[in-house]
């Protein structure tokens, strides 16, 4: 039981030391990082929407072409 306690204490201490070092050595403030993440997520969303719209248009053209021989006039 003592070994488990020592292991958990080491994990917690290591996490605290690692978090402290990460905060001290971070190249940007938290506000800047959040702004960058928000900008990237908006850009990614826009790119996904553009690709999805292009794919939808392509599939609609293919569907129209497949339906053409069976279309009653």
Q: How is the chain split into domains, by residue range?
A: 2-70
Tens digits of per-residue pLDDT, 27-47?
877 788 888 889 999 999 999
Q: Are 44 and 37 in contact (CB under 8 A)?
A: no
What whole-number percentage of the chain has pLDDT above 70? 99
What is the model's pTM?
0.54
- Across the chain, which distance is largest between two alpha carbons, in Å? 84
- Rounded to an integer, what distance in angstroms lies between the CA atom of residue 59 and that of residue 37? 33
Could you tell me if 11 and 3 are in contact, meaning their C-beta atoms sit under 8 angstroms apart? no
């Amino acid at each position: 039981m003592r070994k488990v306690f020592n292991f958990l204490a080491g994990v917690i201490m290591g996490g605290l030391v690692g978090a402290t070092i990460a905060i001290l050595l971070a190249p940007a403030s938290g506000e800047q990082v959040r702004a960058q993440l928000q900008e990237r997520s908006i850009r990614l969303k826009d790119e996904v929407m553009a690709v999805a719209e292009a794919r939808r248009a392509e599939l609609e053209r293919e569907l129209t072409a497949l339906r053409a021989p069976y279309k009653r006039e």
